[in-house]
Amino acid sequence: MSFSKFLRGTALAAAALALLAGQAMAANWRGWNIHPDGYPNTIALESFAKQVTDKTKGAITAQVYNNGVLGAQPDAIEQLRNGALDFANFNLGPMGEFVPEVNVLSLPFLFTGVDQMHKVMDGPIGQKFSDAMSKKGIIALAWYDSGARSFYNNKKPIMEPSDLDGMKIRVMNNQLYVDMVDDMGGNATPMAYGEVFQALKTGVIDGAENNYPSFESSKHFEVAKYYSLTQHLILPECVCISKASWDKLTPDEQAIVRQAAIDSAMEQRKLWAARETKSREMVEKAGIKINKVTDKAAFQKKMEPVYQGFYKNYPDLKALVEEIKATPAN
């Protein structure tokens, strides 16, 4: 073999090895999502995945797994922390069990409205929550909307706290929600989201609490005919990345992923607003009895022990609560 042929062969072999190395380094990202196809969060998270895949030119191939098929949210949070999952859309309620600072966002009647929540989360306060989450292995890149949560049940309208007396109410897995319902007179029952429909249908629980789109898309309105606008919780959600996955990215890739998350959040908020209106119309047509709560102050007063208990457990977070409450909506 001539020396020139040897060089050409060596060059081709090196190129092939480089190509294989590049292919080996390509990341296949798995994303967790609890919602069904067509839901605002699902559409936005799939847009995020597509933008990441396209903008990184295949260096990252991101795929979303919907309907909670990769596990319940507490399990998915743990999987994200240890790198078994790469990204997710999480409600920040159950996140408090892993990141205590995030429990601030689960305090009832914390925000005056959705606009104020957006202002808080898109600013320096939101960055404080992201910093706290990063210490636990989760990077929060942007914040989704999840509207206001209200009580629904299969027995009667909830007009005042005493109407909850003795009712078994499903809550997310967070002690704050247990305390919230118990202090209103109900019997809080932590339960996985996917189990709620059957539990309502069979009478294991009497009711639950959630926003309009979840109430409608989960079909809970088929087994709970009363929806009462307590609007006791306004919980942001996150587009979250595993720190293990994040740390493997180049600075350019991190910029792409962060921008994709922000773009998806802007899309999700628009879709959410439209879906809230549509979902309310759908459940009204199905005969759901929706009632306004005229005296929210009575519910808020019942939450004083919840706040005092929170401050006792997390005295350093009282200033953060006060900072949020002092933030104007505009």
Per-residue pLDDT of the chain (330 residues; tens, 9 = 90+): 554 444 454 444 444 433 443 444 579 999 999 999 999 999 999 999 999 999 999 999 999 999 999 999 999 999 999 999 999 999 998 898 899 999 999 999 999 999 999 999 999 999 999 999 999 999 999 999 999 999 999 999 999 999 999 999 999 888 899 999 999 999 999 999 999 999 999 999 999 999 999 999 999 999 999 999 999 999 999 999 999 999 999 999 999 999 999 999 999 999 999 999 999 999 999 999 999 998 999 999 999 999 999 999 999 999 999 999 999 988
**Strand duo 168-171 + 138-144: pairing:** unpaired
d(CA 137, CA 253): 19
CA distances from 110 to 215, 236, 323 (A): 22, 12, 11
CA distances from 10 to 6, 16, 18, 20, 156 (A): 6, 10, 12, 15, 79
Encoded tokens for 294: 């005229």
Indicate the pTM of the whole model. Answer: 0.84
Give the residue among 17, 32, 7 at the shortest CA–CA distance from 242: 32
pLDDT of residue 214: 92
Long-range contacts: 246-252, Cβ < 8 Å, 24+? 246/139, 248/27, 249/60
Give the residue among 261, 232, 257 at the shortest CA–CA distance from 246: 257
**Strand duo 148-153 + 187-190: pairing:** unpaired
**Strand duo 138-144 + 237-242: pairing:** antiparallel
d(CA 220, CA 215): 5
Give the residue among 138, 127, 43 at the shortest CA–CA distance from 86: 138
Beta-carbon contacts of 294 under 8 Å, excluding residues fewer than 6 positions away, are 159
pLDDT of residue 1: 56
**R_g over Cα of the chain:** 23
pLDDT of residue 38: 92
